[in-house]
Amino acid sequence: GAVVSQHPSWVICKSGTSVKIECRSLDFQATTMFWYRQFPKQSLMLMATSNEGSKATYEQGVEKDKFLINHASLTLSTLTVTSAHPEDSSFYICSARRQTHQETQYFGPGTRLLVL
């Protein structure tokens, strides 16, 4: 299979704090991981593409200084939401592509962030 995990699954934090979300590919190596955000009743919005060993590519309108992405290994990417505000409350989902069969993305279970 192709299993992707995320941690934590839920996080509640105070406004102004930073939150780190981890995305791991458990049984395959992923050269590329993607970070999405999904607001209630809306579709997935790609935030950034994370490539192992290089800087992430951010989509238009996504602040790279606010959403820090690190892809330090072939199985781990992290997203840090810095100085979180209530409007950052959302469902954050990562996905990963295998080194082989790169057409398909496999999604993690998502992290629900609530900023008070």
Q: At 87, give phi and psi (nearest 5°).
A: -70, -10
- Piece of the chain touching another protein by CB under 8 A; list 21-29, 43-51, 71-79, 80-88: 43-51
Q: Which residues pair with 67 in a beta bridge?
A: 81
Question: Minimum distance between the CB of residue 20 and another protein, rounded to whole angstroms?
Answer: 19
- Does 96 bind another protein (CB under 8 A)? Our answer is no
Provide the 10 A C-beta neighbour count for residue 111. Answer: 23
Question: Minimum distance between the CB of residue 43 and another protein, rounded to whole angstroms?
Answer: 4
2-31 residues near another protein, rule: CB under 8 A: none
- Does 104 bind another protein (CB under 8 A)? Our answer is yes
HEC-encoded secondary structure of the chain: CCCEEEECCEEEECCCCCEEEEEEECCCCCCEEEEEEECCCCCCEEEEEEECCCCCEECCCCCCCCEEEEEEECCEEEEEECCCCHHHCEEEEEEEECCCCCCCEEECCCEEEEEC
Candidate residues 61, 65, 86, 103; the one interacting with another protein per rule CB under 8 A: 103
- Does 35 bind another protein (CB under 8 A)? Our answer is no
- Does 43 bind another protein (CB under 8 A)? Our answer is yes
Question: Minimum distance between the CB of residue 104 and another protein, rounded to whole angstroms?
Answer: 6
Interface contacts to another protein, rule CB under 8 A:
32, 34, 42-44, 46, 49, 91, 93, 103-110
